[in-house]
């Protein structure tokens, strides 16, 4: 003791706060009593423990001070100090604050005191806190608070302690668990804020100490092992401020309190905004994770503060009285926003990576023989870079990239052609098109844009608004995506590496994949991407009652995406559901699991449909659209092509490149394995494709029926066929190895030969003729630039189009620009009067054609080159058309006396133009008369004048007309309330489905100790 | 079990193929509109008389220049027409126009629908010329015509002439290539519903030297037939018959001419290897020593050329034009009794003739090299039903005022136009 008196004048009083900590107390007490530098005095404060904590402490001969259960941590410390004798040497009197769930290293106190001795200005020192269970898990080494209230340790999640943060560091604050604080400073600063009975009292105290001119240090040589029982909800928060006894609520409330009480005045608005924003964002995140309790904690925490503004005011007043330095003195300890963003993005990326690319534990079938002669101390040499190509997946992927580069050599740029139309400049245009209630296509339409447009807009937004880039990348890398997506599915079916790689390669160069890329079918491309994932989730379709609802909703979400791009998938699923449910009913009757199956299958059919409203409803109201895919209506190849699993049409593989897909489906029908069940689904899809492929439909802005495109149905048949092939070959492989030569060898050989021949012929075609398909990068336009100057001006475009090897004259009304993405899907039907006028122009009998066109507001007729000279001469001779220009692009005529888009007709019948924006207008009217809009009639056209709505009627041509009874300013608009309402409903349904499909987050108290660390 | 399954699969597959292909075949994709565009008959120079033979009394006509857009019924099978051109809703029966100057000349041609390009081999622009080029715009928008003129000495020239809607212009041939005695005219319609006609009328002082309507010939070709050339016995001071040729291309042409007559086929001396200079109108006197009064010629060339034959008949002269191969069509012949001349290796033409009594007579004309048939005087409409291949025909009509050659070419042609369909695809590059 004499030695100690000479060397160490410090007097340390350990204050152990106990609250239902019996689980950890034995170790905590043991760690206290085994300190290398013994504690001078010990005192335990029990805050109403109901377990054996008090008995344990008393058993260790530690005096206990009892308080009520609702007493906070700060109250407990303050009460303990009141019982201590008056210090004789205040600068050497230390309080060692201890939690009942934090055991200290035997050398902890010694190291803390040593560090404090070296830093006389420091009044508080904290240890390096490590995990209770995993003692290498670094929890804290000093602590701060982020501007959004998050507890900031500067550490990565689950950071392993390798001494990387060791040393004595100045910090904003240290955790109260194991903190050594000078008693006089503690008392001078008023101790812990009684408003922070639990959580964040440490940061608050550190902040106050800092602005009072003191230092706080973290000492890594001193170690503590903290169970974080309150934060991890291992015990309830029973303090009186803990509204509803919810730890998270209390933590968030206290975090906000600390920021609001300590920040400078001018920073407060910004702090409030950040707190509100981050709380909302976290609440949304918790909702998505199906943790509504945590979500409400986030918002309630702010509410509890808002309703007690005096609390903040008095706290700020108290701090002001003790402050010596500016609040900005702590700036260096508050993490920079850049660091916060980086940490948040890293967490997000980690989360996405873990979800999308779960670490697969590679199993090795044969152990590498151990070379005992090898020197184990010799550093292992990493393999050469080219050894990656020994992996079938990498090799085939590389080959696919080379194939794509050659096949798509005309696709380096903005793509147009086939069924694919021009993409607007940016994502903003796509979003605008999606939300708008009126579209300037043909004579105009109030048909809502399809749901798939929103998906493309979202993809474009992710690519910084580059819509063209998104479409180009999608088409360019589509084969590779097909391959990677299907590889995941086939990996679940077979362990044979080459078999699954070859199967995925075959999927990527299947006839439907090639045809869909070459002919610009974005719907089929997306379907081909999604089908392997659907296949992964729908594997237990026959016994679907065993699937969890989360899985059903996840599948519904993917199906919703699929339905958005191709309603053929919906049709197929609906029919399959009806057939299988009927079979189930016949086989099992009306029993419970039948109901469960029916309910789940019905969910899979209906939930995606609901998510796609209002588009899906409009499709159901016109069932012809079930057979149409996004883009222009370009003919498919018909039933005979479909039989070969080839959708045919423009850009499709020629007939002689026969794939083995249909043959495999046929063979699988006689299989005795699971392949037979899959082949039923594949054959069903193929049969439907053959029947529907033989039908012709008009639509999507094309009045002539064309043979339907059945790409999505063939895609289903394709994935089923290849899956069957993999299953059969995987099973037969083992049989072939161990049996003598018989018919199975011949069959397998034949299949391999046909597949090889198909692959060779297909690749040869792709790099030669197949590369010259309609879809290619181009900057050419149909409309001459001068016809696009006035937005919305109607121009009849006449053009010779080749279809079925026949060139015919076709027309459409342009509105100042070429056709854009999604516009074909909502293009209105032709007006009969216009159709008749065009017919009369073509056969030369249309003396009144110009009058009819003019009446419909068509200002120009443009005959695009090359065009039949007879037609040009006929138009020249018809009268009412005045040539405006004749260039290599074509001939333009102005229609005499044509109406404008918005016309004012006075009482004398004089017509004058009202300038318009792309949809409505706002202008002054000086006379009585009527306003005629030469766009299609819609109940949502409205004109407001002087606060009232003008009466809307239909004129003789069916156009909206409004009677103006007094001069004044008018405002013409297309009311999009209904559209917005439906889109809001769609958003709600989508979010609901996402929440239901998302993996549920776990409450901290539900996590195991291992998970927590 | 597997056999049963095999049976079901085969049956299903068969039914699928059958059903799908029958469904696929039952859909028609294209709709067509069939119509006969109105044909145009030429205007009439002052002091000329002009008649049009029509297929029916109900045939509707419309005078170009009229402010009314209406067509009215003709109410006669042969109608005199005033100075303005006339649009005829011929409905497949090609009308013939016959113009004459009393005691001086006569000539005829068919009324035809507008053409993008017309070649006229005939006419003169020298001091004797009183001929006219008529450009008729029967449409309701302004039309622009490009008139190209080739002559014997001057290089080819071109003029762009605009013609107002629903009107016509006449241009003196002497203004097109002043002083040139031999011209070839091509009229190209740059825009509008345009027809062109040439009246070649000549005179010397107060004395008329005859005239004729120059019918448009075929576009430049390496093989040309001129089926009906009247051959008159030589009379004193009469100019010889002349073959007018032009190689409008960029290189000279080597040409050979074959006479086709009742005496057989032969190439006259000096006509087996004519070198035709590019862009230069050349005339070659031709007086074949044959017994028949009508003959035809066949011209072979190594480069595309155009050709016509000038023939004197009494005080009048005739321009015989080249024609395309004869195709089935109907022509209105009321008031006329022409001599039909057919040339070809093996002629076999079935015709049907309606006469004034309402009867229909059938006739088959057969022959080799050349065949003739005189249409009865009470003829109304003549229909060529079936025609042997590579047969060419024209008609020669004689009247008190003169002689005319009428090419047997369908003027009112059924046009089959696909009804345009609305397709937004036209707005996609």
Q: Do A879 and B417 touch (CB under 8 A)?
A: no
What pLDDT is stored for residue A380 in this prediction? 47
Of A307 and A462, the structure prediction assigns the larger pLDDT to A462
Measured between CB atoms, does B189 come within 8 Å of chain A? yes
Average pLDDT over residues A198-214: 88
Residue A305 confidence (pLDDT): 77
- Which residues 53-92 of B are in CB contact (within 8 Å) with A? 69
User: Which three-class secondary structure state does DSSP give residue A565?
Assistant: helix
Residues 256-285 of B with CB under 8 A from A: none
Q: How far is A381 from chain B (nearest CA, A)?
A: 56
CA quadruple A664, A669, A671, A674: dihedral, nearest 10: 90
| Closest Cα in chain B, distance from residue A437 (Å) | 20
pLDDT reported for residue B50: 92
Q: Nearest CA of chain B to the CA of A442: how many Å?
A: 9
Residues of B whose CB is below 8 A from A422: 428-429
Flag if B141 and A881 touch (Cβ within 8 Å).
Answer: yes
What is the share, in percent, of chain A residues with pLDDT greater than 90?
Answer: 41
- Which residue is closest to A832 within chain B, CA to CA? B422
B2-53 per-position pLDDT tens digit: 678 788 888 888 888 888 887 765 544 567 777 788 899 999 988 889 999 9
Instruction: Please report, for residues A789, A826, A915, the alpha-carbon distance to residue A793 in angstroms, rounded to integers and kept in the order given.
Output: 9, 19, 11
Whole-angstrom distance, CA of residue B134 vs CA of residue B97 = 15
Question: How would residue B113 be classed by pLDDT, with cut points 50, 70 and 90?
Answer: confident
Find how far residue A942's CA is from the centre of its chain: 37
Sort out which chain A residues have CB atoms less than 8 A from B140's CB and list them: 847, 877-880
Q: To the nearest whole number, what is the mean pLDDT of chain A?
A: 86
B12:A687 CB<8 A: yes
Strand bridging mode A921-925 / B143-151? unpaired
Cα angle value A108/A111/A115 (rounded, 5°)? 140
User: To the nearest whole angstrom, how far is the Cα of A573 from the nearest Cα of chain B?
Assistant: 20
C-alpha A657: how far from chain center: 39
- Using pLDDT thresholds of 50, 70 and 90, give the confidence band for residue A1004: low
What sections of A323-387 are H helices per DSSP? 337-356
What six digits make up the tokens of A424? 């607007």
Question: What CA–CA distance (Å, rounded) separates A693 from B277?
Answer: 61
Q: Is the pLDDT of residue A717 over 90?
A: yes
Q: Which of chain A's residues have a Cβ under 8 Å away from the Cβ of B422?
A: 442, 701-703, 810-812, 829-830, 835, 838
- CATH 3.90.550.60 domain extents, chain A: 2-244
Tell whether the model's pLDDT for residue A238 goes beyond 60: no
Q: Do A880 and B2 touch (CB under 8 A)?
A: no
The answer to whether B425 contacts A417, with C-beta atoms less than 8 Å apart, is no
CA neighbor of B84 nearest in space, from B112, B42, B144, B135: B42
Q: What is the pLDDT of residue A234?
A: 65
pTM of the model: 0.71
Q: Which pLDDT band, with edges at 50, 70 and 90, does A522 fall under?
A: very high
- Percentage of chain B exceeding pLDDT 90: 57
Higher pLDDT, A479 or A998: A479
The predicted structure's pLDDT at residue A342: 84
Q: Is the pLDDT of residue A376 over 50?
A: no
Query: Is residue B91 within 8 Å of B169, Cβ to Cβ?
Result: no
Q: A630, A638, A686, A808: which to substitute to probe chain B, counting the most B Cβ within 10 Å?
A: A808
Both tokens of residue B79? Answer: 């109608």
Contact A842 B417 (CB under 8 A): yes
Nearest-Cα residue of chain A relative to residue B25: A694
Nearest chain B residue to A631 by CA: give it: B425
A390-439 residue pLDDT tens: 788 888 888 999 999 999 999 998 999 999 999 998 899 999 999 999 99
Which residues of B are less than 8 Å from A843 in CB distance? 33, 35, 415, 417, 419
Q: CB neighbours (10 Å) of residue B77?
A: 19
Residue B308 has pLDDT above 90, yes or no: yes
pLDDT at A578 over 50: yes
Res A976 pLDDT > 60: yes
Q: What is the mean pLDDT of residues A651-670?
A: 90
CB pairs under 8 A between A and B: 201
Higher per-residue confidence, A328 vs A832 = A832
| Reported confidence tier of residue A120, pLDDT bands at 50, 70, 90 | confident
Pairing between β-strand A794-803 and β-strand A858-864 as defined by DSSP bridges? parallel
pLDDT at A1011 over 60: no
Cβ of A873 within 8 Å of Cβ of B29? The answer is no
- Beta-carbon contacts of residue A721 (< 8 Å; ≥ 6 apart): A645, A661, A662, A664, A665, A668, A679, A682
Q: Is-contact B322 B226, C-beta < 8 A?
A: yes
A521 or A384: which leads in pLDDT: A521
Average pLDDT of the segment spanning A294-305: 81
- Say how far apart CA B35 and CA A74 lie, in whole Å: 102
What's the N-to-C CA distance of chain A in angstroms? 41
| Local confidence band at A374 (pLDDT 50, 70, 90 cut-offs) | very low
* Chain A residues within an 8 Å CB radius of B426: 782, 797-799, 801, 810-812, 864
DSSP A865: S
Q: Say if B19 is an interface residue toward chain A (CB within 8 Å).
A: yes
Confidence of residue A746 (pLDDT cuts 50, 70, 90): confident
CA distance B63 to chain A (A): 15
Compute the C-alpha angle A820/A420/B417, nearest 5°: 85
Q: Tell me which residues of chain B, numbers 292 to 321, contact chain A at a CB-CB cutoff of 8 Å.
A: none
pLDDT at position A480 over 90 = yes
- Given this model, what pLDDT does residue A362 score? 41
Identify the weakest region by mean pLDDT among A350-359, A445-454, B280-289: A350-359
Q: Of the candidates B187, B194, B190, B162, which has an alpha carbon nearest to the alpha carbon of residue B87?
A: B194
pLDDT at A1005 (0 to 100): 56
B287 touches chain A (CB under 8 A): no
pLDDT at A733: 76
**How close B86 comes to chain A (CA, Å)?**
15
Sort out which chain A residues have CB atoms less than 8 A from B415's CB and list them. 843-844, 870
The whole-chain average pLDDT of chain B stands at 89
- The fold adopted by the segment(s) A2-244 is Spore Coat Polysaccharide Biosynthesis Protein SpsA; Chain A (3.90.550)
Rounded distance, CA A637 to CA A640, Å? 8
CA of A747 vs chain B CAs: smallest distance (Å): 17
Window 95-154 of B, Cβ < 8 Å to A: 114, 116, 137-143
Alpha carbon distance B377, B361 (integer Å): 13
- Chain B hits for A696, CB-CB cut-off 8 Å, are 27, 29
Q: What is the ipTM of this complex?
A: 0.72
Asked whether the CA dihedral B352, B357, B359, B364 is positive or negative, the reply is: negative
| Closest CA of chain A from B53, distance in Å | 24
**What are the chain A neighbours of B37 within 8 Å (beta carbons)?**
844
Contacts of B339 (CB under 8 A, 6+ apart): B228, B294, B372, B373, B374, B375, B395, B396, B397, B398
Q: Render pLDDT for A780-801 as a digit per residue (tens, 0 to 9).
A: 888 888 887 777 889 999 988 8
Residue A365 above 50 pLDDT?
no
Q: Average pLDDT, stretch B100-125? A: 91
Q: Sorting pLDDT into bands at 50, 70 and 90, what band is B292?
A: confident
Q: What spatial distance separates the first Cα and last Cα of chain B, rounded to whole Å? A: 56
Residue numbers in A near B143 (CB within 8 A) = 876-877
Partners of A812 on chain B (C-beta within 8 Å) are 422-427
CB contact under 8 A, A844 and B415: yes
Chain B CB contacts of A633 below 8 Å: 425
Residue A359 reports pLDDT greater than 90 = no
The DSSP result for A299-312, as a single string, is HHHHHHHHT-HHHH
């Amino acid at each position: 003791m004499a030695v100690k008196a000479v060397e160490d004048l410090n007097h340390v009083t350990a204050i152990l706060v106990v609250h239902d900590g019996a689980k950890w107390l034995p170790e905590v007490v043991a760690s206290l009593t085994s300190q290398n530098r013994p504690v001078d005095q010990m005192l335990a404060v029990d805050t109403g423990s109901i377990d054996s904590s008090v008995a344990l402490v008393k058993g260790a001969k530690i005096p206990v001070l009892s308080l009520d259960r609702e007493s906070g941590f700060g109250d407990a410390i303050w009460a303990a100090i009141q019982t201590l004798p008056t210090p004789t040497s205040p600068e050497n009197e230390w309080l060692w604050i201890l939690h009942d769930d934090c055991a200290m290293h035997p050398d902890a106190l010694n190291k803390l005191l040593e560090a404090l001795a070296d830093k006389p200005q420091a009044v508080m020192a904290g240890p390096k806190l490590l995990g209770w269970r995993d003692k290498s898990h670094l929890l804290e080494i000093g602590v701060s608070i982020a501007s959004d209230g998050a507890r900031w340790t500067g550490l990565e999640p689950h950071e392993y302690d390798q001494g990387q943060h060791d040393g004595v560091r100045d910090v904003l604050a240290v955790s109260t668990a194991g903190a050594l604080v000078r008693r006089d400073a503690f008392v001078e600063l008023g101790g812990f804020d009684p408003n922070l009975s639990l959580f964040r009292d440490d940061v608050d105290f550190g902040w106050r100490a800092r602005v009072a001119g003191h230092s706080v240090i973290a000492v890594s040589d001193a170690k503590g092992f903290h169970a974080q029982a309150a934060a991890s909800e291992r015990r309830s928060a029973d303090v009186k401020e803990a509204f509803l006894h919810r730890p998270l609520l209390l933590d968030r409330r206290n975090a906000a309190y600390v920021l609001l009480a300590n920040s400078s005045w001018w920073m407060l608005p910004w702090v409030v905004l950040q707190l509100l924003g981050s709380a909302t964002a976290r609440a949304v995140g918790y909702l998505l994770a199906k943790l509504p309790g945590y979500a409400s904690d986030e918002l309630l925490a702010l509410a509890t503060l808002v309703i007690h503004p005096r609390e903040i005011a008095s706290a700020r007043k108290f701090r002001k009285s003790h402050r010596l330095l500016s609040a900005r003195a702590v700036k260096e300890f508050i993490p920079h926003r850049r660091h916060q963003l980086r940490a948040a993005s890293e967490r997000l990326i980690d989360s996405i990576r873990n979800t999308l690319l779960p670490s697969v534990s590679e199993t090795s079938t044969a152990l590498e023989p151990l070379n005992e002669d090898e020197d184990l101390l010799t550093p292992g040499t990493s393999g050469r870079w080219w050894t990656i190509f020994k992996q079938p997946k990498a090799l085939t992927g590389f080959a696919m990239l080379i194939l794509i580069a050659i096949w798509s050599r005309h696709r380096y740029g903005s793509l147009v052609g086939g069924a694919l139309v021009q993409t607007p400049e940016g994502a903003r245009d796509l979003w605008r098109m999606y939300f708008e209630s009126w579209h300037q296509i043909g004579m105009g339409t109030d048909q809502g844009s399809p749901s798939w447009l929103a998906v493309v807009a979202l993809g474009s937004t992710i690519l910084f608004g580059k819509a063209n880039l998104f479409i180009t990348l999608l088409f360019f890398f589509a084969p590779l995506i097909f391959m990677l997506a299907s590889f995941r599915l086939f990996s679940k079916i077979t362990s044979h590496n080459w078999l699954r790689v070859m199967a995925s390669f075959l999927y990527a160069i299947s006839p439907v994949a090639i045809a869909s890329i070459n002919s610009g079918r974005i719907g089929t491309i997306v379907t081909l991407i999604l089908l392997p994932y659907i296949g992964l989730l729908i594997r237990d379709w026959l016994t679907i009652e065993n699937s969890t609802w989360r899985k059903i909703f996840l599948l519904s979400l993917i199906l919703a995406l699929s339905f958005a791009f191709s309603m053929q998938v919906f049709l197929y699923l609906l029919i399959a559901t009806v057939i299988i449910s009927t079979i189930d009913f016949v086989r099992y009757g009306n029993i419970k699991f039948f109901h469960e199956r029916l309910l789940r299958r019905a969910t899979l059919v209906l939930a995606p449909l609901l998510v796609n409203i209002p588009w899906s409803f409009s499709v159901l109201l016109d069932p012809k659209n079930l057979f149409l895919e996004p883009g222009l209506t370009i003919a498919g190849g018909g039933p005979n092509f479909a039989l070969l699993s080839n959708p045919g049409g423009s850009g499709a593989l020629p007939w002689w490149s026969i794939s083995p897909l249909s043959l495999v489906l046929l063979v699988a029908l006689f299989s005795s394995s699971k392949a037979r069940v899959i082949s039923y689904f594949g054959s069903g899809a193929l049969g439907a494709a053959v029947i529907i492929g033989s039908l012709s439909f008009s639509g999507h802005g094309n009045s002539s029926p064309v043979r339907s495109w059945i790409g999505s149905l063939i895609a289903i048949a394709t994935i089923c066929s290849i899956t069957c092939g993999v299953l059969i070959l995987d099973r037969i492989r083992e049989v072939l190895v161990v049996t003598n030569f018989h018919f199975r060898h011949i069959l397998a050989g034949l299949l391999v030969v046909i597949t090889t021949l198909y692959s060779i012929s297909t690749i040869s075609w792709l790099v030669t003729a197949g590369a010259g398909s309609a879809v290619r990068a181009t900057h050419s336009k149909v409309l001459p630039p001068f016809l696009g100057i006035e937005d919305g001006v109607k121009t009849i475009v006449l053009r010779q189009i080749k279809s079925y090897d026949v060139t015919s004259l076709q027309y459409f009304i342009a509105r100042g620009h070429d056709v854009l993405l999604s516009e074909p899907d909502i293009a209105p039907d032709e007006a009969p009067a216009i159709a008749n006028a065009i017919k009369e122009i073509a056969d030369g009998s249309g003396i009144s054609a110009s009058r009819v066109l003019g009446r419909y507001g068509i200002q120009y007729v443009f005959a695009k080159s090359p065009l039949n000279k007879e037609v040009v001469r006929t138009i020249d001779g018809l009268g009412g058309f005045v040539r405006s220009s004749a260039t290599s692009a074509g001939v333009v005529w102005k229609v005499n006396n044509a109406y404008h888009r918005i016309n004012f007709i006075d009482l004398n019948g004089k017509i004058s133009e009202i300038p318009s924006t792309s949809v409505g207008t706002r202008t002054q009217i000086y006379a009585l008369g009527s306003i005629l809009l030469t766009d299609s009639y819609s109940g949502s056209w409205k004109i407001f004048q002087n606060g009232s709505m003008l009466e809307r009627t239909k004129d003789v041509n069916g156009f909206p007309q409004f009677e103006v009874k007094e001069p004044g300013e008018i405002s013409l608009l297309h009311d999009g309330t209904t559209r917005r309402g439906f889109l809001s409903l769609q958003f709600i349904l989508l979010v609901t489905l996402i929440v239901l499909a998302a993996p549920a987050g776990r409450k901290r108290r539900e996590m195991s100790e291992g998970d927590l660390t | 079990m597997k056999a049963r399954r095999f049976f079901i699969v085969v049956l299903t597959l068969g039914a699928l193929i059958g059903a799908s292909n029958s469904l696929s075949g039952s859909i028609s994709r294209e709709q067509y509109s069939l119509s006969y565009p109105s044909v145009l008959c030429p205007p009439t120079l002052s002091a000329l008389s002009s008649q049009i033979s029509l297929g029916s009394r109900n045939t509707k006509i419309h005078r170009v220049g009229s402010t009314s857009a209406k067509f009215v019924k003709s109410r006669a099978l042969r109608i005199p027409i005033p100075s303005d051109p006339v649009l005829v809703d011929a409905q497949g029966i090609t009308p013939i126009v016959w113009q004459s100057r009393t005691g001086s000349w006569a000539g005829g041609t068919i009324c035809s629908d507008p053409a993008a390009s017309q070649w006229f081999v005939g006419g003169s622009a020298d001091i004797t010329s009183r001929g006219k080029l008529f450009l008729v715009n029967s449409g309701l928008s302004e039309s622009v015509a490009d008139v190209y003129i080739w002559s014997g000495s001057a290089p080819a020239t071109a003029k762009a002439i605009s013609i107002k809607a629903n009107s016509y212009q006449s241009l003196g041939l002497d203004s097109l290539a002043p002083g040139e005695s031999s011209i070839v005219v091509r009229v190209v319609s740059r825009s509008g519903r345009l027809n062109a006609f040439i009246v070649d009328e000549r005179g010397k002082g107060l004395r008329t030297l005859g005239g004729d309507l120059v019918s448009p010939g075929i576009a430049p070709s390496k093989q040309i037939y001129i089926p009906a050339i009247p051959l008159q016995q030589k009379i004193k001071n009469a100019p010889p018959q002349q073959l007018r040729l032009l190689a409008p291309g960029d290189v000279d042409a080597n040409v050979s001419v074959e006479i086709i007559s009742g005496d057989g086929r032969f190439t006259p001396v000096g006509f087996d290897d004519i070198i035709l200079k590019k862009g230069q109108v050349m005339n070659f006197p031709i007086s074949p020593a044959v017994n028949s009064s009508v003959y035809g010629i066949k011209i072979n060339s190594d480069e595309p050329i155009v050709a016509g034959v000038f023939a004197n008949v009494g005080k009048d002269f005739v321009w015989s034009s080249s024609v395309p191969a004869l195709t089935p069509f109907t022509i209105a012949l009321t008031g006329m009794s022409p001599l039909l001349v057919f040339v070809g290796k093996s002629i076999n033409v079935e015709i049907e003739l309606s006469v004034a009594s309402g009867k229909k007579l059938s006739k088959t004309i057969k022959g080799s090299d050349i065949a003739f048939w005189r249409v009865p005087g009470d003829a109304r409409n003549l229909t060529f039903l079936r025609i042997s291949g590579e047969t060419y025909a024209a008609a020669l009509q004689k009247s008190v005022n003169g002689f005319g050659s009428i090419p047997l070419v369908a003027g009112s042609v059924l046009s089959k136009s696909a009804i345009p369909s609305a397709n937004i695809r036209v707005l996609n590059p």
